[in-house]
Every structure is written in structure tokens, then in C-alpha cells.
Amino acid sequence: MSRFLTTFCAFVAVAFVPFAIAGVTAPGDVVITALSVDKPLTDEAGNAESGKKVFANRKQGNCLACHANSDMSDQLFHGEVGPKLDGVASRWSEGQLRTILVNAKAVFTKQTVMPGFYTLDVGEDVRKDLVGKTILSAQQIEDLVAYLATLK
């Protein structure tokens, strides 16, 4: 488990991206109402194909590290720390899925091990060069939402 965490943290460290881009909602400006972020984070509609790649990419979403997903049975390792994501779009609305990705702590408990992929609320002692950066970009979140919406 601790080796997993070390690997995961290393991936988070290299995957942080800057976000100051025009037409994009900054992480501090995302509005959550009733567990839902209804306004897309970018003007560009999410692309499910790109989202699928972000999901599987070990240096980006790395979602498979914690979640099994039958839609990706061609991938070798599926983690079991989080729930299986089959049918996730039937359990959560698109706005709620966006919230879970932006900041899982806003939906689950503060103790959740799921990272907040588009938030600056990442705890204390953040490495100096990563302060003010998010793990994924706003567009990557939108692409992921579009992909998760296909998992009915």
C-alpha cells in the first residue's frame, strides 16, 4: 500500500499543470451547488475519446490505479481502492461527476483518498513548485466528464 502511495504521489508530482488559460474557470472560482458543478469549466465541449485517454494515462488521471472499469478490459491493472466505475453515469448526474473530479472532498468526506483533480484545496506542506497548480487541466476534466457520461 505504501509503495502504491509513493508511486501515486510521484505521478501527482510530475502531472501538475498550470491553468491560467482564457475561457477557463480557475479552480478557486468553481461554484458547487447541491454537490453539483453545473457550469462546464471550459467553453469547449468535453471529448469522450480524449477523456478515456486521460482516465487510462498513468501520468494523468491514473483513475485505473484505484478504479476497475470493464470498458477498459484491455488494460492490465485495475485497482480496487475505489468503487468499480461500471454504470457510474446512472448513479451520478453530469454535474455531480464534474464535482467528484474537481474536488472529491466536496462530495465524500475530507478523508477520501481520491485526489481533487482541479482544486487548490490540497492540504498542507505542498511542494513549493506545485503551489497554485492543479493535477489536471479544466479541459481534461471536461473530457473525463464526457467519458464517464458514456458509462451507463
Q: Interface residues with ligand HEC (CB under 6 A)?
A: 8, 55, 61-63, 65-67, 81-83, 85, 88, 91, 97, 100-101, 108, 112-115, 117, 144, 148
Nearer to ligand HEC, 22 or 143 (CB): 143
Q: Tell me how far, at minimum, the Cβ of 36 lies from ligand HEC, in Å.
A: 13
Q: Residue 25, SS3?
A: coil
Nearer to ligand HEC, 41 or 66 (CB): 66
Q: Tell me how far, at minimum, the Cβ of 127 lies from ligand HEC, in Å.
A: 18
Q: Residue 15, SS3?
A: helix
CA atoms of 147 and 51, how far apart (whole Å):
5
Nearer to ligand HEC, 8 or 16 (CB): 8
CA atoms of 41 and 136, how far apart (whole Å):
12
Under 8 Å between Cβ of 59 and 139: no
Q: Tell me how far, at minimum, the Cβ of 91 lies from ligand HEC, in Å.
A: 5
Q: In this structure, which amino acid lies at residue 151?
A: L
Q: Which three cell numbers stand for residue 95?
A: 454535474
Q: Tell me how far, at minimum, the Cβ of 19 lies from ligand HEC, in Å.
A: 16
Report phi then psi at 41, rounded to 5.
-80, -15
Nearer to ligand HEC, 32 or 65 (CB): 65
